[in-house]
Amino acid sequence: MDLGLTNKVALVCGSSKGLGKATAKCLAREGACVILCSSNPANLEKAKQDMQEASSAEVTAIIANLSDQEDVSRLIEVLFKRYRHIDILVNNTGGPPPGKFDELSIDDWREAYEAMFISAVMLTKSVLPGMKSQRWGRILNITSIAVKQPVENLILSNSIRAGITGFARTLANEVAPFGITVNNILPGFTRTERLENLAEETAGRKGVSVEEAYQTWIKDIPMNRLGEPEEFGNVVTFLASARASYVTGTSITVDGGWVRSLI
């Protein structure tokens, strides 16, 4: 199936590793011009090289810390100096630190809010005029299964990603007449560096091995395994495509059946 992504310009945030990198690689494979964004220069350069070796797509890398509003503003400025418009925006940040409510400071809340929520609002606001003008666009938010079924010890993620869901669902109706879709993709337990860190934290907190921590999650997944980043990236790529033109305002789980809700 031709997804209609050839030469579409896609900004994928948090794309030096994990789900963001997998998403960017899938988009590049389909012929999109991909802009990578991360605060880690070494990882970002490696991701760029990996993608250039795997496809003939144009790949650009821009260093930016999405928890810093000035850095987000600079990213936007650099983007529009190099490109006339952005066709596809994938809002994504690394997950905030784990912890229970009493263990987290106001600064922890503020930093997570600015990195996850405010950056998504700023970037969305910057790309919408061009999308409206051309009457085509895709805004995709990588959130978490936590917005449908909160995950233990992740109160920051559970709270702020739920806010992004409300933002996206409301925006979807406002921009639908312009041919712009807005969707959320909810990853479940997927084999990434983030999950490795959570497994180590869980193991230390509960006094079990890292493997036992993984098994605690896997036993609740009907597919009886962790997800792979590319499986997630493929879903995001479809939603970014011309073929998903009538899908908007949704929150789609990619979790092997972990979420038990009906909708």
- Residue 69 reports pLDDT greater than 90: no
pLDDT of residue 226: 97
Q: What domains sit in the chain, N to C, each tagged with a CATH number?
A: 9-189+229-254 (3.40.50.720), 191-226 (no CATH)
For residue 155, which amino acid is it? Answer: I
Helical spans, DSSP H, in the chain: 18-29, 41-54, 69-82, 106-113, 119-134, 155-175, 193-206, 210-218, 229-240
Query: Which stretch of DSSP H or E encloses residue 60?
Result: strand 59-63
Q: How many residues does the chain have?
A: 263
Half-sphere exposure of 213 toward its Cβ, with a 13 Å CA cutoff? 18
233-244 b/e (C-beta count within 10 Å ≥ 16 → b): bbbbbbbbbeeb
Among 241, 239, 260, smallest CA distance to 251 is for 239
Q: Which residue has the higher pLDDT, 67 or 89?
A: 89
Q: Which of 117, 108, 22 has its CA nearest to residue 69?
A: 117
For 26-53, how does the pLDDT look when each residue is reduced to its tens digit (9 = 90+)? 999 999 999 999 999 999 999 999 999 8
Q: What is the pLDDT of residues 224-257, one digit of tens each?
A: 999 999 999 999 999 999 999 999 999 999 999 9
Half-sphere exposure in the Cβ direction for 218 (13 Å, CA) = 13
Mean predicted lDDT score pLDDT of the chain: 95
pLDDT exceeds cutoff 90 at 262: no
Which CA distances in Å does 112 have to 163, 178, 192?
12, 31, 20
Q: What is the pLDDT of residues 73-87, one digit of tens each?
A: 999 999 999 998 999
Average pLDDT estimate for 170-181: 98
Portion of the chain with pLDDT greater than 70, in percent: 100
Tokens 């921590």 correspond to 213
Angle between helices 18-29 and 41-54 (to 10 degrees): 30
**Is residue 67 scored above 90 in pLDDT?**
no
Q: Which residues touch 215 (CB under 8 Å, ≥6 apart)?
A: none
Report whether 116 contacts 164 (CB < 8 A).
yes
